Amino acid sequence: MARHLITSAIPYINGIKHLGNLVGSQLPADLFARYQRARGHEVLFLCATDEHGTPAELAAAKAGQPVAEYCAEMHEVQARIAEGFRLSFDHFGRSSSKQNEKLTQHFAGVLADKGLIREVSETQMYSPTDGRYLPDRYIEGTCPNCGFEDARGDQCDNCTKQLDPVDLIDPRSVISGATDLEMRETKHLYLRQSAMKDELEAWIDSKTDWPVLTTSIAKKWLNDGDGLQDRGITRDLDWGIPVKRGDEDWPGMEGKVFYVWFDAPIEYIASAQEWVDAGKGDDWQRWWRTDKGAEDVTYTQFMGKDNVPFHTLSFPATILGSGEPWKLVDYIKSFNYLNYEGGQFSTSRGRGVFMDQALEILPADYWRWWLLSHAPESSDAEFTWENFQSSVNKDLADVLGNFASRVTKFCRSKFGEVVPEGGTWSKAEKDLTLYLLLKLKKYEEQMEAMEVRKAASTLRAMWVAGNEYLQDAAPWATFKEDPEQAAMQIRLGLNLVRLYAVLSGPFIPDAAAQLLEAMRAEGADWPDDIDAALEALPAGHAFAVPDVTFRKITDAEREDWQARFSGKRD
């Protein structure tokens, strides 16, 4: 039995996320976690809300709430929505936890002891209008690299270039829109990433199996311009983890907090501590400390491409720089962007479908299937309502749902709600078994390699094979001449329903559970032997005709949703 530590990039606390955010990290991470559990492996799947930094402060101010109260409320909202999408986290933590505060301060102290943190007196943007310093996301302006007009003070979302507020052209305050900004002196801590460039580069070069997207972004940041730059890890903010050197105060850093991108990845470790403290687990160290049993853990991270630099450079610099036996990531699965109807999803304009709205329209499996089968792996992908309708209607309703309905209803009408006996396999059944054996092997290989779209395509091909067999065998016609042979064909069909449910569980868990319940096969194991799997339900085994597994989306619904989600959100 293998052990898999799986983390998804932790979502910002500032509001409900759209479908592009979901497919870029949490959903494919859940797919992989569910698959590994189904194969009998031990899994710890962690995520959390990212609650520090300017996004939290700005969102709380907009909502008219104290930031701590806002974060607590939004954590509950995000946790509830995650449950709605059946994201099977073992723990969904909070970066504002006491565990993360203590661990972040610990890392800062160790890195300082190693000479990897330096104090820097620098000038920083100050807004007389707002009466405060404006760190990173409190400033927006034009990116000097690509010309994007809404670049943030820490990073351009368009070209992903790492920025400092002083780099922006025509900078403005996010709070007031003021442009009369001035530079004032302040003191901050910097992580000496440049001192670790060779070690980080060697580590990245050793990851020969990583996706091209991941390594290309990492190497660009390593070698772009003057190479890997030292990174500020403190900010002049009220909300965040207080700057300490372990348990000790840090002279000159009073009133400052750690930069969100320093403490946020550390929350991956802290969330495992929270998992234990919540009574869900009994030993977090065997997952995170290589001197405590984590040496045999495979650690996989899932994230959108904008998060790659921090997970390939900044967080590894923290882990490696500490010199302590922490578990480093083994594989980073990164994703491109999902666009919406010819443009970008927009939180501010309400353009696109947000996670709460999606669940109001249709159950989670409809969205899970489309998003995963169209995951933006090799390039950006695009959500269109026409494509969504077509995929749901053809893949889910016409292929999988229709197969389960036809087989179970025909059996009930001719043999009752029990698996019928009689008949022997012919060449058609043997050919189908061989085909499914080959497809299952490919499916497993693709799931292990996290080739999400390919795996979805292979799974669908197995569904199609059952439909084609049923159409060719035509048990409704066979029954008139040879009822026993028709019984064999339907018995195979019922076992296919069970098999499809097991294999489809990682993609569409609710539908899989529904079909397994109808087949009276809850808890069915992953098939080790196709022949055995296709005879798992013996003659005489009772079943029930399931309710409609997937309904079709009408043209009127599609047109209504298309209009509803094209503009400003209420």
pLDDT at 454: 98
Domain assignment present for 448? yes
CATH of the domain at 483: 1.10.730.10
Report d(CA 124, CA 259) in Å as an integer. Answer: 15
Report d(CA 34, CA 15) in Å as an integer. Answer: 27
- Quick one: tokens of 391? 């995929």
pLDDT at 278: 97
Report d(CA 298, CA 25) in Å as an integer. Answer: 18
Could you read off the pLDDT of 393-402 as tens digits, one per residue? 999 999 999 9
Q: What is the CA radius of gyration of the chain?
A: 27
Residue among 510, 522, 521 nearest 547 (CA): 510
pLDDT at 348: 63
DSSP E strand boundaries for 442-485: none
Q: Residues 263, 191: contact at Cβ < 8 Å?
A: no
Say which residues have a Cβ less than 8 Å from residue 521's Cβ, sequence separation at least 6.
498, 501, 536, 537
3-state secondary structure 303-316: EEHHHHHHHHHHHH
The single-letter code of the amino acid at 525 is D
- Quick one: tokens of 479? 């029954």
Domain assignment present for 221? no
pLDDT at 49: 97
Domain assignment present for 449? yes
Report d(CA 174, CA 139) in Å as an integer. Answer: 5
Residues of the chain with pLDDT under 50: 569-570
Task: State phi, psi for 172 to the nearest 5 degrees.
Answer: -145, 155
pLDDT at 225: 65
3-state secondary structure 307-361: HHHHHHHHHHHHHHHHCCCECCCCEEEEECCEEECCECCECCCCECCEHHHHHHH
Crossing angle for the helix pair 483-504 and 402-415, to the nearest 10 degrees: 140
Domain assignment present for 92? no
Instruction: Find the angle CA(13)-CA(16)-CA(20) to the nearest 5 degrees.
Output: 105
H or E stretch including 317? helix 315-322
Domain assignment present for 145? no
Q: Residues 518, 493: contact at Cβ < 8 Å?
A: no
SS3 assignment, position 184: strand
- Quick one: tokens of 182? 């001035």
pLDDT at 152: 87
Which residue numbers belong to the known binding site for ATP? 347
Report d(CA 237, CA 368) in Å as an integer. Answer: 38
pLDDT at 570: 42
Which residue numbers belong to the known binding site for Zn(2+)? 143, 146, 156, 159
pLDDT at 157: 82
Q: pTM to 2 decimals?
A: 0.92
pLDDT at 302: 98
**Backbone dihedral region of 147: left (phi > 0), alpha (psi from -120 to 50 degrees) or beta?**
left
pLDDT at 568: 53
Burial (0-12, 13-18, 19+ Cβ within 10 Å), 460: buried
Which residue numbers belong to the known binding site? 143, 146, 156, 159, 347
Print the domain residue range for 515.
Answer: 393-533
Q: Strand 3-8 vs strand 297-304: parallel, antiparallel, or unpaired?
A: parallel
Report d(CA 114, CA 116) in Å as an integer. Answer: 5
Domain assignment present for 71? no
SS3 assignment, position 154: coil
Please count the structural domains in the chain. Answer: 1
Task: State phi, psi for 55 to the nearest 5 degrees.
Answer: -55, -40
pLDDT at 174: 87
Domain assignment present for 404? yes
pLDDT at 154: 82
Domain assignment present for 225? no
pLDDT at 569: 44
